[in-house]
Amino acid sequence: MSLGRDPITGRFRYVHREFHGTKREAQRFAAQLVTEVDHGGHQHPGKFTVAVLLDRWMEHLDTQGRAPSTLTRNRSVIKANIVPRLGAIRIDRLGPADLDHYYATLTKSGLKPLTVRKSHAVLSAALHQAVKWGWIDRNPADRSSPPPVRGKEIVPPTLEEVRRILEACDASNPDLGSLVYAALTTGCRRGELCGLRWDDVDLERATLVVARSISDVPGDVSVKDTKTHATRRIALDPSTVEVFRRHRARAEERADLAGVPLAPSAYVWSQEMDSSVPYRPDRVTASFIAIRDRLGLKHVTLQACRHFAATSLAGSGVGIRTIAGRLGHANPSVTLKTYAHFLEVADREAAGTLGAVVAALAPNRPPDHEKAPSA
């Protein structure tokens, strides 16, 4: 009986069984064999190579509603770093030692630990799916040792650096200036700002709703939900409301000149006259980098605007849950881990304030008239 073409060798495979008995028993045995083959009983997925597994896994992810940007990043990692080195290895012969050697090879080639960890994450997820499919019994990536990634110290821009960048952005492109201003005061992610529509912004109530995010994919943009898959509402201060009002006036003026309406669902930041298409996040970053480089502030990134918002709130004593809510962190523990140093500074200032209050009420504190006279 034919099992079809082998996905690895490309050759046709057959299964042979001997049977001794009556003709009716032989027919019953043959029917059972057909059923077994139809249900994959004679497949040998353990013999599939890493390359075959990754192909099947990506096909599976494509049916699971994963973001196009995620699929694009995975394919890039697979093509550049995994298949050239591990693609021909059978998954049932891939062990933790092989993976550790692979990670060491990538590191020696000059790749950063974070890049190596991305390859590990892709491999681990694909192998985990292979376990769920019954292709292998254990995931070798669970016992491997990818290089550790040491988090970079967060250094938010100073007030002077923020002032210079805002002025330069406004002078170069007022639309970009308004986006950067909103990034500084809301702490929103780049893709979330690009995904804002005018019906998400309530200037009368000074609030905005973060409901989606924009990501770049080859030749296009992808509209998806937020990183935590949750919508959040953010309060706006008066200065940010005014920035939005001025930006809205510019958008309406462009639409009027083109003779097109500015729909309620129009994007807040767009290069189209009717604002029907969102800004591309990568283009926003490229414009920001060009301006900050002219200012000699290469250490300031667009992501630093988000850090500025978070650390400014922490330094002002704002509660961790409030900060996490504005930033869109799924759990306040993420905020604590990311901005621990700045929260410690705020906590120390809070301790000093509280200590001064309690010290004034201490029962063993001598009255003012009993204090020793100063020399």
| CATH code where residue 68 lies | 1.10.150.130
Answer yes or no: is 306 within a domain.
no
**Is the pLDDT score of 59 beyond 60?**
yes
Considering the domain architecture, whether residues 76 and 25 belong to the same structural domain is answered as: no
Considering the domain architecture, whether residues 101 and 198 belong to the same structural domain is answered as: no
Considering the domain architecture, whether residues 116 and 139 belong to the same structural domain is answered as: yes
**Is the pLDDT score of 279 beyond 80?**
yes
CA–CA separation, 12 vs 105, rounded Å? Answer: 36
Considering the domain architecture, whether residues 292 and 173 belong to the same structural domain is answered as: yes
Answer yes or no: is 318 within a domain.
no
**Is the pLDDT score of 353 beyond 70?**
no
Q: Residue 41's pLDDT is what?
A: 43
Answer yes or no: is 368 within a domain.
no
Q: Residue 219's pLDDT is what?
A: 77
Q: Which residues pair with 49 in a beta bridge?
A: 90
Mean pLDDT of 31-43: 52
Mean pLDDT of 339-352: 70
Considering the domain architecture, whether residues 32 and 55 belong to the same structural domain is answered as: no
Mean pLDDT of 117-127: 96
Of 344 and 102, more confident: 102
Q: Residue 375's pLDDT is what?
A: 45
Considering the domain architecture, whether residues 61 and 34 belong to the same structural domain is answered as: no
Which is nearest to 280 in space by CA: 210, 199, 220, 226?
220
For residue 203, give its domain range. Answer: 159-298
Considering the domain architecture, whether residues 133 and 188 belong to the same structural domain is answered as: no
Residue entry with tokens 């008239």:
369
What's this model's pTM, rounded to 2 decimal places?
0.71
Mean per-residue pLDDT over the chain, rounded: 85
Helix 281-294 vs helix 174-186: angle between axes, to the nearest 10 degrees?
100
Answer yes or no: is 39 within a domain.
yes
Mean pLDDT of 243-250: 97
Query: What percentage of the chain exceeds 90 in pLDDT?
Result: 62
Answer yes or no: is 321 within a domain.
no
Considering the domain architecture, whether residues 172 and 211 belong to the same structural domain is answered as: yes
Neighbours of 97 (CB within 10 A): 12
Q: Residue 146's pLDDT is what?
A: 95
Q: Could you say which of 108, 143, 178 is where a domain stops?
A: 143
Neighbours of 74 (CB within 10 A): 21
Instruction: Give the phi and the psi of residue 361 in degrees, each rounded to 5.
Output: -105, 0
Q: Convert the pLDDT of each residue in 174-225 to its tens digit.
A: 999 999 999 999 999 999 999 999 999 999 999 999 999 998 887 788 888 8
CA–CA separation, 237 vs 180, rounded Å? Answer: 15
Q: Do residues 60 and 129 touch, judged by C-beta distance below 8 A?
A: yes
Number of domains in the chain: 3
Instruction: Give the phi and the psi of residue 178 in degrees, each rounded to 5.
Output: -70, -35
Q: Could you say which of 90, 109, 143 is where a domain stops?
A: 143
**Is the pLDDT score of 170 beyond 80?**
yes
pLDDT band at 340 (very low <50, low <70, confident <90, very high): confident
Residue entry with tokens 């896994």:
57
| CATH number of the domain where residue 248 is located | 1.10.443.10
